[in-house]
Amino acid sequence: MTKIAEAEALAREGVLAAQQGEHEAAIRALSRAVALDPAQSGYHNDLGNAFQRMGRFADSLLSYQEALRQDPRSAEVYNNLGGALARLERHPEALSSFLRAVEIEPQYAQPYHNAGNVLQEQGQLADAVRCYREALHLRPDYAEAWHKAGRALEAGRCLKDALACYEEALRLRPDFPEAHVSRATTWLVAGEFEQGWREYEWRWKGGEAPRREFTAPWWDGSPLKGKPVLLHAEQGLGETLQFLRYAPLVEQRGAKVVVECQPRLAGLVETMEGVARVVAAGSRLPLFQAHLGMSSLPRILGTGLENIPAPARFRVDRARVESWRQRLAGQGQWKVGIAWAGSPRDRNNPYRNRSAGLAQFAPLARHTKLALFSLQRGPEAAQIGSPPRGLKVNPLETESMEVIDTAAAVLNLDLVITVDSLVAHLAGSLGKPVWALLPWAAEWRWLLDREDSPWYPTMRLFRQARPGEWGAVLERVAEVLPDALG
């Protein structure tokens, strides 16, 4: 067999392996094909695709660049190169690559779709919608572009238009889980809970929440007569706190409630009434006879805007609370906890979208009676070392601190001011006054335009008037703070 024939055979083997999800085998075969016949642009392109599927984006970039050296007029490779650049967060270069793809092949819809994704991620929603519409002009049956156009419109709070896009995506592809979930959250943010909760069950099929497979059945709301029932957390820490309020209601149906939650929350959840046992995620589960993801509880228990249950009640021990009282004593007339960044791992609400940054809290410096305490965790907590001029922020939260200790500290504060994060749900659950700072297009749980939250009676909402504008939000907070704390 000649080297060229052997390279062809290896390339076919690599593409077949990639189609079967055997990406490491694909990389091995395609790497050998490239070594035998490096002049074949297609081999480099296929190798780049295999690297992308493995998350090796820098390697995929090199492969695509080599493919273009062999064939500078390949629109497909430019499109793939743009995808790798986007994953490496080299967004201007990614957009240029997508533009080059459509310059070479004007009828190529996918680069427009991919450019829309990059623009939407950067918050350039109008430009993103224009790109999706270009893709749909070329390919009206492009269900993914209909869905992404809906997402961009929803982020711009054009809910009616967003729903129309989701409907078209689902007409073209009725089993499109992500479009179902997007339609669900659009209904939920509009307060249309009944159809929203029902549609939200599609999250189990689309990666929004990892589907759990157990031998025990899913609980359907029927009486439980002393049976152990597992309620398992699905997504973020804040969402877990939001839906723990349903555990006592499940107990009232006759269940022995077992809660599986994130390890950080376990110590706090153990103090709840209505919970028989708490298991940290990753630990061995006890026997149970039915189970349910926590975000399905509102549907099962028929939650509407008029009957949202009270937040979960946590009984933080007095000694722990007293210890924090002594630590915070004598530090200002008003003790206010602040957090300025959400989790970077939250897929549903991008990091930069709901993260203000400590610098935005500068207007609070005009209030000399304030003693500010950092409730921030993660890499953004380092900002406490360089606060805006005149603003002193005392360290409080640490990376090793358990949530139950954070709860004890919060119980000694007069107010919590935070972006949409675990801290907002924690303070709201504890019944402390909490001001939540929300982006222009906030998550569904905060509904539309309200200044209060039916989920947390002690919460007040401060919303951006325009996308990305935190300055006006914090100016408003600083303006009303003296009246609130008196």
β-pair type (277-280, 290-293):
unpaired
Amino acid residing at 283: S
The per-residue pLDDT for 431 is: 97
Please report the pLDDT score of residue 474 as a whole number: 97
Q: CA 264, CA 315: separation in Å to the nearest integer?
A: 16
Give the chain's radius of gyration (CA, Å).
Answer: 26
Domains and CATH numbers, the chain: 3-206 (1.25.40.10), 228-307 (3.40.50), 318-485 (3.40.50.2000)
Question: pLDDT-derived band of residue 352, with 50, 70 and 90 as boundaries?
Answer: low
Average pLDDT over residues 216-231: 93
CA distance 89 to 77: 18
Q: What is the pLDDT of residue 346?
A: 53
- Tell me if 278 sits within 8 A of 269, measured CB to CB: yes
Band the pLDDT of 207: cuts 50, 70, 90. low
> What whole-number distance in Å separates Cα of residue 453 and Cα of residue 417?
15
Residue type, 474: L
pLDDT attached to residue 37? 87
Residue 101 CB neighbour total at 10 angstroms: 25
- pLDDT band, very low/low/confident/very high, at 348 (cuts 50, 70, 90): very low
| Residue 10's pLDDT band (cuts 50, 70, 90) | confident
What percentage of the chain has pLDDT greater than the value 90? 81
User: 3-state DSSP call for residue 250?
Assistant: helix
Tens digits of residue pLDDT in 280-325? 999 999 999 999 999 999 999 999 999 999 999 999 999 999 999 9
Q: How far apart are CA 163 and CA 155, in angstroms?
A: 12
pTM over 0.85: yes
Per-residue tokens: 224: 């439980």
Mean pLDDT of 147-173: 96
> Model confidence over 233-278: pLDDT tens digits?
998 999 999 999 999 999 999 999 999 999 999 999 999 989 999 9
pLDDT of 208 > 70? The answer is no
Confidence of residue 347 (pLDDT cuts 50, 70, 90): very low
